[in-house]
């Protein structure tokens, strides 16, 4: 199993870059076997991405007791969700070039992860319960779905503008139909609302559990209800909830550009929320020990070297 140690970010990042280059080439010329090469590289990148993510998650779990306890792991996991979505879309919408818009988001997330590095930036002072896993997983998936909806919204607006102007485009520059894009935007809006609701509810439950474990009412890992992370998360959720209800109940909102604008606005709210979380610090407790110890995890390749030596 030594080959597992040799998988690095370069493996899957390079695969995604090759797929992106193939997507660009589709605009200019058509090659019969390119579809299979593109899907093959995407699948290979996703497999390598999965192995690396599981290994990195194990390192963080062993060190902190929390899986993906860093921005490094968070960004890589979000990129994995979007990469899996790309592979599914590339099979279902084989003739469309939506990868031109989705793959840059994946590559940027990986680049951001590399920029952060595998140092822990989340507090691990909380009691380890099932709520931790539910909270983190729901927020991660909700974030990825909002980003996916943002891509769908942009592609919808581009396709609508092209059709309205009857603009001529390169022969092989084909996008999904407006109907498919609209349904995808609506689905992303509903799914992200449900997921972020789960993240918010589990976060509240986690806070209450930590408070109950503290002698003074505030256990280590408890967050003040007035914390910017808490109220900004609530604002993001209620915005998504209001958008989903508005889209479901107000029929004109389900046509044209309105749903695309809703998912794009949701993405901007999400970016603002993540900015607040990063700036303030996620899960900083009210306990006296507020110092976050930096934990640097070993790179898989260095672990292999140590193992052999």
pLDDT at 40: 92
Q: What H or E segment, with its residue span, contains residue 114? A: helix 99-116
Both tokens assigned to 10: 């370069």
pLDDT at 199: 80
| Digit-coded pLDDT (tens) for 157-192 | 988 888 887 766 666 788 888 889 988 988 988 898
Measuring CA to CA, how many Å separate 251 from each of 61, 186, 246, 258? 47, 12, 9, 10
Q: What is the DSSP letter of 252?
A: G
Cα separation, 282 vs 269, whole angstroms? 17
pLDDT at 257: 77
Q: Which of 58-62, 86-90, 149-153 has the lowest mean pLDDT?
A: 58-62
Inform me whether the pLDDT recorded for 295 exceeds 70.
no
Average pLDDT value for the chain: 76
Cα separation, 16 vs 26, whole angstroms? 15
What percent of the chain lies above the pLDDT cut of 90?
A: 21
Torsion sign over Cα 107, 112, 116, 119: negative
Both tokens assigned to 161: 């503008």
Inform me whether the pLDDT recorded for 96 exceeds 90.
no
Inform me whether the pLDDT recorded for 59 exceeds 90.
no
Between residues 150 and 127, the one the model is more confident about: 150
Cα separation, 83 vs 87, whole angstroms? 6
| Digit-coded pLDDT (tens) for 66-76 | 666 677 888 89
Cα separation, 41 vs 20, whole angstroms? 10
Nearest to 102 by CA among 177, 33, 154: 154
Spatial CB neighbours of 207, under 8 Å, sequence gap ≥ 6: 222, 223, 225
The three-state secondary structure class of 296 is strand
pLDDT at 174: 84
**CA angle 234-240-242, nearest 5°?**
100
Q: How confident is the model at residue 308 (pLDDT cuts 50, 70, 90)?
A: very low
| Digit-coded pLDDT (tens) for 224-268 | 555 556 666 777 778 788 878 877 776 665 566 788 888 888 888
Q: What is the mean pLDDT of residues 112-132?
A: 65
pLDDT at 33: 74
The three-state secondary structure class of 8 is coil
- How many other β-carbons are positioned within 10 Å of the β-carbon of residue 67? 19
Cα separation, 99 vs 138, whole angstroms? 25
Which residue carries 């092209």 as its tokens? 162
């Amino acid at each position: 199993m030594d080959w597992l140690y040799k998988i690095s970010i370069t493996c899957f990042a390079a695969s995604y870059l090759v797929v992106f280059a193939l997507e660009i080439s589709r605009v200019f010329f058509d090659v019969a076997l390119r579809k299979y090469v593109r899907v093959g590289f995407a699948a290979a990148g996703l497999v390598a991405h999965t192995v690396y993510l599981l290994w990195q998650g194990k390192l963080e779990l062993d060190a902190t007791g929390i899986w993906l306890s860093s921005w490094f792991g968070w960004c890589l996991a979000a990129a994995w969700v979007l990469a899996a979505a790309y592979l599914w879309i590339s099979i279902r919408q084989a003739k469309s070039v939506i990868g031109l818009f989705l793959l840059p988001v994946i590559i940027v997330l990986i680049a951001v992860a590399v920029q952060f590095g595998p140092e822990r930036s989340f507090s691990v002072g909380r009691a380890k319960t099932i709520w931790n896993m539910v909270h983190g997983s729901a927020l991660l998936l909700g974030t990825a779905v909002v980003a996916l909806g943002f891509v769908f919204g942009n592609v919808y607006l581009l396709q609508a503008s092209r059709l309205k102007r009857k603009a001529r485009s390169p022969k092989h520059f084909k996008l999904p139909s407006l109907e498919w894009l609209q349904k995808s935007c609506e689905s992303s809006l509903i799914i992200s609302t449900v997921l972020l609701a789960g993240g918010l509810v589990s976060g509240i439950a986690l806070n209450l559990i930590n408070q109950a474990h503290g002698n003074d009412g505030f256990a280590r890992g408890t967050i003040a209800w007035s914390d910017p992370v808490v109220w900004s998360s609530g604002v993001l959720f209620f915005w998504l909830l209001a958008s989903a209800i508005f889209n479901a109940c107000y029929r004109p909102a389900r046509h044209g550009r309105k749903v695309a604008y809703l998912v794009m606005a949701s993405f901007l709210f999400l970016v603002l929320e993540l900015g607040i979380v990063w700036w303030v610090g996620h899960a900083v407790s009210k306990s006296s020990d507020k110092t976050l110890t930096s934990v640097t995890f070993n790179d898989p390749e260095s672990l292999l070297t140590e193992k052999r030596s």
